[in-house]
Amino acid sequence: MSETPAAIEVSALCKRYGDYEAVRGIDITVQRGEVFGLLGPNGAGKTTTVEILEGYRARTSGEVSVLGQDPANRSIELRRRIGIVLQSGGIYSHITPREALRHWASFYPHPRDVEEVLDLAGLREKADVRSRRLSGGQLRRLDFALALVGDPELIFLDEPTTGFDPEARRAAWETVRSLRELGKTILLTTHYLEEAQALADRVAIVKDGRILAIGPPRELGVGAAHYRVVYRGRDGELVELQTDDPTRLLHELAGEALERGESLQELSVARPTLEDVYLELTADA
């Protein structure tokens, strides 16, 4: 079988639901071993895109390659190489996490140890509780565990940590990092921008079915949003300034202060965060 070097290649992807164009020409390449984040407001087309890549939805047009195959063919061989957290899981109401994981593991040629995955997902104490008795966050942990148990090469996580408490979210981040260290490829959607900043090698910001920006989270900020410079002025009030050119602004502010024989109290310079960039790019005109 011939393999493309990239894990995912998408070009000119379009998806219409009736008259509505949910995805309007998306191009994305995700390298093997990369953690790639899809960000964007509700209804941007993230789940549509991800589910086309998973083989769960048909595309209207465009080229898609996942681990060298077209997911529309729904081959079993491809299924065994990918793991999925759907945005809406929760189909296992009558069975326990341990049973669900054992069942799911049986579809994969080289599954992970079910007990280890129960620990990874923080479900040890609920391993034998029927799923309908689990809390929302615990059910989401089960979804996450199900995506890992097959030990797949490529993992799709559609809002995997929604509903997680802060500790569970940090644990999930650690798991994603350890998967990355094992060389797995991860495509993740999230509304938690600090999650994308913490995990993703690159992100794409999507709105109305189009990509507005793509790149490493730290580099997206450059040129898009402004640096914030804050200090306490002579009257005791906090002064906040925004600038594209913090070097020049700091030079001027510091020069003036030194001439007066003063210092800039509580001076700080903040880079634009991914959230600043996101809000600026996705704001309605």
Distance (Å, whole) CA 111 – CA 101: 10
| Angle formed at CA 33 by CA 214 and CA 219, multiple of 5 degrees | 30
What does the per-residue mask of binding to Mg ion show for 69-108, with x meaning CB under 5 A? ------------------x---------------------
Distance (Å, whole) CA 195 – CA 278: 13
Distance (Å, whole) CA 131 – CA 104: 15
Report the candidate in 122, 232, 216 with the shortest Cα–Cα distance to residue 175: 122
Contact segment (CB under 6 A) with ligand ATP among 14-22, 93-101, 116-124, 236-244 equals 14-22
273 secondary structure, DSSP code: P
In the range 235-254, which residues lie near ligand ATP by CB under 6 A?
none
Contact segment (CB under 6 A) with ligand ATP among 24-32, 46-54, 218-226, 232-240 equals 46-54
Residue whose CB is nearest to Mg ion in the complex, by number = 47
45 is an interface residue for ligand ATP by CB under 6 A: yes
Distance (Å, whole) CA 214 – CA 66: 19
In whole angstroms, what separates CA 69 from the centre of its chain? 23
Name 21's bridge partners: 16
40 interacts with, out of ligand ATP, Mg ion, none, CB within 5 to 8 A per kind: ligand ATP
Contacts of 283 by beta carbon, 8 Å cutoff, 6+ apart: none
Contact segment (CB under 6 A) with ligand ATP among 4-12, 37-45, 128-136, 229-237 equals 37-45
Total binding residues toward ligand ATP, as defined by CB under 6 A: 12
What does the per-residue mask of binding to ligand ATP show for 73-102, with x meaning CB under 6 A? --------------x---------------
What is the contact surface with ligand ATP in residues (CB under 6 A)? 17, 20, 22, 40, 42-48, 87
